[in-house]
Structure 1
Amino acid sequence: MIQEQPQYNSISTWLRESVMIKLFVIGFLALVLLIPSSMISSLITERAERQGEVGREIAKIWADSQLVEPPVLVIPYKKTVTEQSADHKVTTKQVDDVLYVLPDKLNITADVVPDTLHRGMFESIVYTAKLHLSGDFKPEIFKGISADQMDTAKARLTFKLTDLKGLKTNPVIMFGNQKLNATPVFGEDELLQGGLQVPVSFNVNNTTAIPFSYTLDIKGSRSLNFLHTGKATTVKVHSTWATPSFTGGYSPDERKINNKGFDAKWQVLYYNRPFAQQWVGVDTLLNSMSKQEKAIFGVDLKLPVDQYQQTTRTAKYAVLIILLTFVALFLTELIRKQPIHPFNYALIGAALVIYYTLLLSFAEQVGYTLAYCIASVATIALVSVFISSLLKNKLMAMLFAAILGVFYVFVYVLIQLEDLALLIGSIALFIILSVLMYFSRKINWDK
């Protein structure tokens, strides 16, 4: 035992002073800290989902996202059907059918006034909008069906809105020289379900276009969309919302966005429209989801990159911050030749992880930017004071605080850059790796 004691002491000293062993322990701690980091990421996701739920709850009370389906002219008519019986006897009979006609010209203007509703700390975008729709139906489309076949007494003009709860006033329809009040549709064919309609009359032998116009005063949430049904559809939208997102099958031909709001204009022709100008019998055509997806376009009133999106992106850099902080602390330890216990590394790592809960909780109350400043200053102060007490050197603690501050500023800049984040981040990591390679030359990895 007396002869083995020096060997035991040398092994114990090597375990305490070995650079490789210390790096292994530090790496292991960094991996362990991934567990609470992932839990915090799940917490951020949960809070973001809760905001989405609140938005949907507000929409149920206010009004949901609105899809405006312009008018369709519905004309019942009788057609003659020829049938042949089993004994080859030919008979003819008249059956009822329906002709559906889409507008030739369709013009829509929308003035959207956004607002933000809050429930607790969560918020949702709602709006009121005044829409004016006008256009005409060309009489040429009636060719192929004789006037005596059409039951014009039962003809009607129908249009739809996703959530009729958002309709603030009863729309008055001008069709030709007729002024008509719209009524809800009940118990009719599927095309009209959930819509509004007015009975109309017209002369099928008239050679001039039949104009129509009406105004919709509506409420909605998050987005306003339109269904392209005109042979030539023109839509103009104006709003004071400064962060729109244009969606759907067609991009605006003209757009102007600034901090005062946006103006957008679509001009769409029927060549790439998934609907025929007229059809018979099929009352589900406009309701086909696959066809609607190709013909819907509009705008989402997006919140500026909200605190949950920014916090989620920030949390993705947690591993990088922890590793860089541990490396900086390790190099400080080597330069000072003053060992730091792995438990102290773990405490510093825990502070870096708790940083993200501070960021999330403050962001919900005061916004992301101010929350980032509060959480960063608090974490840097805590870690630097702790290091000062460990190393008994205020200058080194101030230097470490500056290094940690650079890390957080670097991450904040990456979050704000968005499109250039990958480029700037790659360059910065390359520089950091170069610095580590430079300092690693003087480390004796055998001791």
Structure 2
Amino acid sequence: MIQEIQNEKPNYWAKDSVIVKLSVIAALILLLLIPSQWIQSLISEREKTQDEVLNDVSDKWSGSQLIQGPVLVIPYQKEVRVLDSNKKEIVRRETQTLYVLPQNMQIKANINTDTLHRGLFRAVVYNSKIWVQGNFGKPELEKAGIDPAAVNYDKVRLIFSVSDLKGLKSNPVIQLNNQKLNVEPTFNGKSPFDDGLQVSFTLPKDQEITFSFSLDLKGSNELNFMHTAKTTDVEVTSNWVTPSFDGRYLPDTRAVTKSGFNAKWRMLYYNRPFPQQWINDDSVLKNDKATDNATFGVKLRLPVDQYQKTIRTTKYSTLIILLTFVSLFFTELIRKQRVHVFNYILIGAAMVIYYTLLLSFSEQVGYNVAYLIASVATITLISLFTSSLLQNRQMALLFGFILTTFYGFTFIIIQLEDLSLMIGSILLFIIITLLMYFSRKINWEKQ
């Protein structure tokens, strides 16, 4: 008889031990990490598809635009001493190039935006009117060691660049002093830009050059400018209400309203990464690091990026599942009513499916509404299921309130990006405090 009782003890311990139950719950949480990772991969895949759609739309419409220049390109002749085939020193005349940047430049841009849809995905495109004017000072030929008599004044070029020429809606016309000239691509000859537009003209001696031109330009996602003049002033206005100012320089003044935005920049040459003039090297303005340090502009950001918010939400999935299982486990102890492990699995599955609901609905109605739909559906389902298990509506309502609190705090953390760490830390501290309080009288050996 004693032997039979002794044989029953391990079974009784395994059946009723709180520690064993907690170990099983912990194992379930670890297993639920697998589908959670699958969902994160699904979100990343959808985000990648969105990027591909954006690139495709940009390729067909026009890409992000960068306005560079203008630059004055002045050829001149220089005598160079070289050795011939007989190793005799001879004098040869070579054509070299002096590059000069503007003294002052003012740019005004007006951006009219639109949103193109490709299935579930959206892309921001725009039509813009851009006015550019400024002046070049007299080239400092003596300072560069150039004989003024050796300059080819009749072969001077003015070159500027638009990063995606496909976006030009009309042929630009440049006014130099009182002369209007049609531009042409820089297909041949040395150019400071890869995709440049140029005009050739005769440079007047001992006289400043004023220039002005306008661009009827379309693009997508971004409009940027390069700081090339000694003093560069830029003003951008648009009907887009969620701009993101990007690049090396932030605007000096900005105003964002419900009808659009206005931003102004003023840059001096002290922090410009280019010299005012240089000789022969046509790669100065092509240097990636220097270009990045001189580029600024505006990014036309979509109001809500549901994929970034959804993937941030999924990162809290383990914590939410853990807290839900702990809450259900404490409910077991309070009610002294066993909940089968299989029921934990079903509740965990419902909480994983929650994220697919959130993803699919956010693509249709936006993140905030999708969060509400997925949360209400999941909380209602789990509360009704818990009510059926425990045969107690009050406990089910309490459990539903706990889930609402968890999802509510998660939503707040996602919205408050800058304060998410502090709010999350406070929430975890409160949860640990409550767990300490409710776990004081639990018999960890058996229920």
Q: Judge same fold: TM > 0.5, yes or no.
A: yes
Amino acid at match of 1:191: P
Counterpart residue number, 1:171? 172
Kindly state the Cα deviation for residue 86 of structure 1 after the two structures are TM-superposed.
Answer: 10
Equivalent pair of 2:310/2:358 in contact (CA under 8 Å): yes
Q: Which moved more, 1:295-304 or 1:212-221?
A: 295-304
CA distance in 1: counterparts of 2:77 and 2:71, whole angstroms = 19
Cα distance in structure 2, aligned partners of 1:57 and 1:90: 58
Whole-angstrom distance in 2 between the partners of 1:309 and 1:140? 51
Match of 2:190 in 1: 189
- State yes or no: 1:342 paired with 2:318: no
CA distance in structure 2 between the partners assigned to 1:172 and 1:190 by the alignment: 19
Task: Tell me if the contact between 2:347 and 2:382 (Cα under 8 Å) persists in the aligned partners.
Answer: yes
Name the SS for the 2:205 alignment partner. coil
Deviation at 1:133, TM superposition (A): 0.5
Structure 1 window deviating more from structure 2 (34-43 vs 304-313): it is 304-313
> 2:77 & 2:189 partners in 1: Cα distance?
18
Partner of 2:202 in structure 1? 201
Aligned length: 444
Residue 120 of structure 1 corresponds to 119
Does structure 1 retain, via aligned residues, the 8 Å contact 2:304–2:367? no
Shift of 1:82: 3.0
User: How far apart, in 1, do the equivalents of 2:349 and 2:7 lie?
Assistant: 34
Report the equivalent of 1:382.
Answer: 381
Residue 404 of structure 1: aligned partner: 403
2:306·2:366 contact (CA, 8 Å) conserved in 1?
yes
Task: Give the Cα–Cα distance (whole angstroms) in 2 for the partners of residues 140 and 66 of structure 1.
Answer: 30
Alignment of 1:268 onto 2:267? yes
State the alpha-carbon separation in 1 of the partners of residues 202 and 155 from structure 2: 8
**What SS class does the counterpart of residue 274 from structure 2 fall into?**
coil
Q: What is the alpha-carbon distance in structure 2 between the residues aligned to residue 394 and residue 140 of structure 1?
A: 87
Structure 2: gaps of 5 or more residues:
none
C-alpha distance in structure 2 between counterparts of 1:289 and 1:270, whole Å:
19
- How far 1:384 moved relative to its partner? 0.9
Q: CA deviation at 1:88?
A: 9.0
Structure 2 residue 22 is the aligned partner of structure 1 residue 27: no
The offset of 1:6, in angstroms, is: 2.1
Cross-structure match for 1:154: 155
Q: Determine the C-alpha separation between the residues in 1 that align with 2:392 and 2:6.
A: 35
Shift of 1:275: 1.3
Compared CA separation, residues 140 and 324, structure 1 to 2 (3 A): same
Within 1, Cα distance between the matches of 2:210 and 2:164? 26
Which range is displaced more, 139-148 or 11-20? 139-148
Partners of 2:68 and 2:190 in 1: CA distance? 16
C-alpha contact (below 8 Å) 1:186/1:193 kept by paired residues: no
Deviation at 1:91, TM superposition (A): 3.6
Taking the aligned partners of 2:358 and 2:49, their CA distance within structure 1 comes to 17
| Mapped contact 1:142–1:204 kept (Cα < 8 A) | no
Alignment partner, residue 295 of structure 1: 294
Between the aligned partners of 2:435 and 2:5, the Cα distance in structure 1 is 36
Q: Deviations over 1:260-296 (max 9, x none)?
A: 3222211111122121111111112211112111111
Task: Give, in whole Å, the separation in 2 of the partners of 1:193 and 1:335.
Answer: 74
Contact 1:173 1:179 in 2 (8 A): yes
Code of the residue aligned with 2:327 in structure 1: it is A
CA gap 1:163/1:86 in 2 versus in 1, 3 angstroms: closer
Q: Output the CA distance in 2 between the equivalents of 1:80 and 1:251.
A: 46
Q: Which runs of 5+ in 1 are unaligned?
A: none
| Residue 40 of structure 1, CA deviation | 0.4
> 1:190 Cα deviation (Å)?
4.4
Alignment deviations for residues 164-189 of structure 1 (CA, whole Å, 9 cap, x no partner): 00011111101011011111221222
Q: CA deviation at 1:192?
A: 4.5
CA–CA distance in structure 2, aligned partners of residues 86 and 184 of structure 1: 39
Greater Cα shift, 135-144 or 425-434:
135-144
Superposed, which structure 2 residues align to 1:19-418 within 5 Å?
19-83=18-82, 90-143=89-142, 144-206=145-207, 209-418=208-417
Distance in 2 of aligned mates of 1:190 and 1:73: 10
The change in CA–CA distance for 1:378 and 1:301 in structure 2 (over 3 A counts) is: same
The Cα shift of 1:81 comes to: 1.7
Q: Do 1:77 and 1:96's aligned partners in 2 also have CA atoms closer than 8 Å?
A: yes
Displacement of 1:205 after TM fit? Answer: 2.5
Query: Identity rate of aligned residues, in percent?
Result: 54
What do residues 30-72 of structure 1 show as CA deviations (whole Å, max 9, x unaligned)? 1110111011011111111110110000000000111101211
- Cα distance in 2, alignment partners of residues 62 and 159 from structure 1: 22
Three-state SS of the structure 1 residue aligned to 2:53 is helix
Query: In structure 2, do the counterparts of structure 1 residues 88 and 381 end up closer, same or farther at CA, with 3 Å as the change threshold?
Result: closer
- TM-score after normalising by structure 2: 0.96
SS in 1 for 2:275: coil
Q: Distance in 2 between matches of 1:262 and 1:277?
A: 33
- The DSSP-based 3-state class of the residue aligned with 1:55 is helix
Deviation at 1:259, TM superposition (A): 3.0
Q: 2 CA distance for matches of 1:315 and 1:261?
A: 33
Do the aligned residues in 1 keep the contact of 2:100 with 2:139 (CA within 8 Å)?
no
Contact 2:183–2:197 (CA<8 Å) still a contact in 1?
yes
Mapped partners of 2:132, 2:174: distance in 1: 10
Task: State the SS of the aligned residue for 1:170.
Answer: coil
C-alpha deviation, 1:148, in angstroms: 2.3
Whether the 8 Å CA contact 2:304–2:366 is kept in 1: the answer is no
By how many angstroms is 1:84 displaced? 6.3
Q: Return 417-426 or 181-190, whichever deviates more.
A: 181-190
Cα pair 2:193 2:286 within 8 Å, conserved? no
Offset from partner CA, 1:176-233 (integer Å, 9 cap, x none):
1101111122122242542111112231223xx2110000110111111111110111
Distance in 2 between the 1:437 and 1:446 partners?
A: 17
Q: After TM superposition, give the deviation of residue 377 of structure 1 in Å.
A: 0.9
Segment drifting more, 44-53 vs 139-148: 139-148
Question: Relative to structure 1, is the Cα distance of residues 288 and 425 closer, same or farther in structure 2, using a 3 angstrom cutoff?
Answer: same
The alignment status of 1:17 with 2:10, answered yes or no, reads: no
> Partner amino acid for 2:419?
L
Letter in 1 for 2:162: L
What RMSD in Å do the two structures reach over aligned CA positions? 1.7
CA contact (8 A) 1:315 1:356 kept: yes
